[in-house]
Amino acid sequence: MSTATITVDREFIVGPVPRRLFGSFVEHMGRCVYTGIYEPGHPSADEHGFRRDVLDLTREMGVSIVRYPGGNFVSGYRWEDGVGPVEQRPRRLDGAWHTVETNAFGLHEFAAWAKEAGVEVMEAINLGTRGVEEARAIVEYANHPGGTEWSDKRRANGAEEPFDIRVWNLGNELDGPWQIGHKTADEYGRLAQEAGKAMKLVDPTIELVAVGSSNSHMPTFGSWEHTVLSHAYDEVDYISMHAYYQEHDGDALSFLASANDMDYFIESVVATADAVKAKRQSSKVVNVSFDEWNVWYQRGLETEDQPHVVGKAQWREHPRLIEDQYNVTDAVVVGTFLNSLLRHGDRVTIANQAQLVNVIAPIRSEENGPAWRQTIYWPFARTAELARGDILRTVVRSDRFASSQYGDADVVDASVTYDADRGRVAVFVANRGLEEASDVTVALRGFTAGQVTRAEVLTIPEGGDRFTANTEAAQDAVGLTPLQASVQDGALRTTLPPLSWAVLEVEVTQA
């Protein structure tokens, strides 16, 4: 048995929980849009062709904001192809994913879907093959009330009221050689500055996200952010981060420690943004939009389920791409990623798990068939539900473990929030011990603890192992089960099973 003490203090507040931390991502990739959120003819489809089963799961999951339409896809996309009468929309080759895009689904459909799902739209523009002119045109189309060419086109296409999109990504992963329209940091920084300026001249109230590094191992990481922000600091409000992690060759300990890299990555990007701020003697703060994060088993480009390698496969409509099946270990790791995001919630104020349905996603769906929750759905759903009010600084004293890739890490990983309105403290906690249970004590300084109002755990189910997953045939093999927890001597106590993620909520008053 390992032991851990998590100490929080009512006065030690990181900042308010940013609701946009519980974002997701819908890309025109694989089966995320087509047969994911949109499938006219599906038994659950509504009058727009939106799958009601997927909408229900999206709402239940507590998603707050959804980035759209890509991803690598957006760097070759013409948004105009996706508006107007559907029968007149062009079919195009999408080079990013070697797919035929029918354009049956576009901006209007996404805005209508987002309304039904109760989520905010976060729109990415193409700065791979396009530029300033198209950037300002789409803002005029989406946000201007009317009386101009683009805004009147929107009205003629059925949306009298503006979509009023607040957050815009200035392109996607343009630091990556795989990206259509890949650029140097200077080329991109200047373009982001000019596109951002033109967009804010159309609507000064929008918030802009500059492209950051595609991951912390990019050769340009660090200098990319510095150069881009040196050009575009005054125009942008966020710098983006993307990161995907996986278990390599059975090295479970490194995988379980991968939130160390997330912490390092976030803190490095924040430091770089603040260095540019200092150099410019600016009072403006640029925050982080961690707009792609997840577990992704990247098996190389030449496998059957990644048929986008030119010359290796037919051009197809919505092929199955990267439909990873997630297990118990993945869910625990996703729980630690959410903890990392929350612990940095004063500076990471937007985050999007990639993606929402089918493509490396918490929700899976089958064409003409069911939709179900993957294991990673649960930590996201409960954290989105219960992380309310303020984030408290957590001090964890725990046994440690060594990992070859990401150094030493605490066996127990946590984040804590305090909702003064409801009088509740919520604790999100992972036990990364593969063999040992962990006795956890949460010391609640400045609070008087009352009843435990929620205690649930996700762990290896009876008869299963750490690779157990939810499948179409066994949709609820892994889920949340009740956990024993109590308040003793003013502290919250529980025992976490090996390899588990848990949520605890307790009534509190101020001591």
Distance CA 412, CA 432 (A): 6
Q: Is 119 in the site for ligand AHR (CB under 6 A)?
A: no
User: Which residues between 326 and 365 bind ligand AHR (CB under 6 A)?
Assistant: 354-355
- What is the smallest separation between the CB atom of 407 and ligand AHR, expressed in angstroms? 25
Query: Which lies closer to ligand AHR via its Cβ, residue 58 or residue 172?
Result: 172
175, 292, 410, 413: which one contacts ligand AHR (CB under 6 A)? 292
Q: Which stretch binds ligand AHR (CB under 6 A): 9-17, 70-78, 245-253, 454-462?
A: 70-78
Token digits of residue 145 = 């009330």
Give whichever of 80 and 292 is closer to ligand AHR, judged by the CB atom.
292
- Write out the DSSP string of 236-277: -SEEEEEEEE---TT-HHHHHTTHHHHHHHHHHHHHHHHHHH
Burial class (CB in 10 A: 0-12, 13-18, 19+), 152: middle
Can you tell me the distance from the alpha carbon of 97 to that of 467, in angstroms, rounded to the nearest whole number? 29
State yes or no: residue 109 binds ligand AHR (CB under 6 A): no
Q: Shortest Cβ distance from residue 70 to ligand AHR (Å)?
A: 5
Does the footprint of ligand AHR cover residue 494 (CB under 6 A)? no
Strand spans (E) along 379-475: 390-392, 395-398, 400-403, 407-410, 412-419, 424-431, 438-445, 447-458
Question: Which of these ranges, 58-66, 68-76, 203-211, 479-487, lies near ligand AHR under the rule CB under 6 A?
Answer: 68-76
Q: Give which of 432, 417, 376 is closest to 260, Cα–Cα.
A: 432
Q: Which is closer to ligand AHR, CB of 26 or CB of 159?
A: 26
Residue 58 contacts ligand AHR per CB under 6 A: no
Indicate if the alpha-carbon torsion angle 40, 90, 73, 207 is positive or negative. Answer: negative
State in angstroms the smallest separation of the CB of 473 from ligand AHR: 27
The number of CA neighbours under 13 Å toward the Cβ of 439 is: 4
The two tokens of residue 165 are: 């999109």
Site string for ligand AHR, 122-161 (x = CB under 6 A): ----------------------------------------
CA–CA distance, 201 with 240 (Å, rounded to integer): 22
User: Segment contacting ligand AHR (CB under 6 A): 41-49, 69-77, 150-158, 461-469?
Assistant: 69-77
Query: What is the C-alpha to C-alpha distance for residues 63 and 145, in angstroms, rounded to an integer?
Result: 28
Taking the complex as a whole, the smallest distance from the CB of residue 96 to ligand AHR amounts, in Å, to: 7
Residue type, 375: T
Is 292 tagged catalytic?
yes
Looking at 40-48, 64-72, 411-419, 425-433, which segment touches ligand AHR (CB under 6 A)? Answer: 64-72
71 touches ligand AHR by CB under 6 A: yes
Amino acid (one-letter) located at 442: V
- Whichever of 29 and 185 has its CB closer to ligand AHR, that residue is 29
**Phi and psi for 41 in degrees, rounded to 5?**
100, -15
Alpha-carbon distance of 120 to 58, in angstroms, equals: 13
Residues forming beta bridges with residue 4, ordered by sequence position: 398, 440
| Min CB(109)–ligand AHR separation in Å | 19
| Number of residues that this document lists for the chain | 511
User: For residues 97 and 70, what is the distance between their CA atoms, to the nearest angstrom?
Assistant: 11
By the rule CB under 6 A, 75 interacts with ligand AHR: no
Q: How far is the CB of 443 from ligand AHR (least distance, A)?
A: 39
Sheet of 447-458: strand order equals 13-16, 390-392, 412-419, 424-431, 500-510, 447-458, 481-482
Stretch 9-48: interaction string toward ligand AHR, x if CB under 6 A: ------------------x-x-------------------
> Which member of 109, 120, 292, 456 is catalytic?
292
Give the range of 65-73, 111-119, 445-453, 464-472 binding ligand AHR by CB under 6 A.
Answer: 65-73
- Point out the catalytic residue in the list 140, 173, 225, 456: 173
Shortest Å, Cβ 324 to ligand AHR: 11
Q: Which stretch binds ligand AHR (CB under 6 A): 67-75, 125-133, 468-476, 500-508?
A: 67-75
> Is residue 101 involved in binding ligand AHR (CB under 6 A)?
no
Nearer to ligand AHR among residue 271 and residue 301 (C-beta) = 301
Candidates 172, 327, 339, 394; binder of ligand AHR (CB under 6 A) is 172
Distance separating alpha carbons of residues 170 and 212, to the nearest angstrom: 10
Per rule CB under 6 A, is residue 72 in the interface with ligand AHR?
yes
| Residue recorded with tokens 């410019």 | 280
Distance between CA atoms of 2 and 202, rounded to whole angstroms? 57
Closest CA to 373 of 358, 382, 362, 386: 362
Find the DSSP H helices in 90-219. Answer: 107-117, 132-143, 149-156, 185-202
Q: How many residues bind ligand AHR (CB under 6 A)?
A: 10
Using Cβ positions, the residue closest to ligand AHR within the complex turns out to be 71
Which is closer to ligand AHR, CB of 24 or CB of 172?
A: 172
Active site (annotated) includes residue 116: no
- List the catalytic residues: 173, 292
User: What residue ranges bind ligand AHR (CB under 6 A)?
Assistant: 27, 29, 70-72, 172-173, 292, 354-355
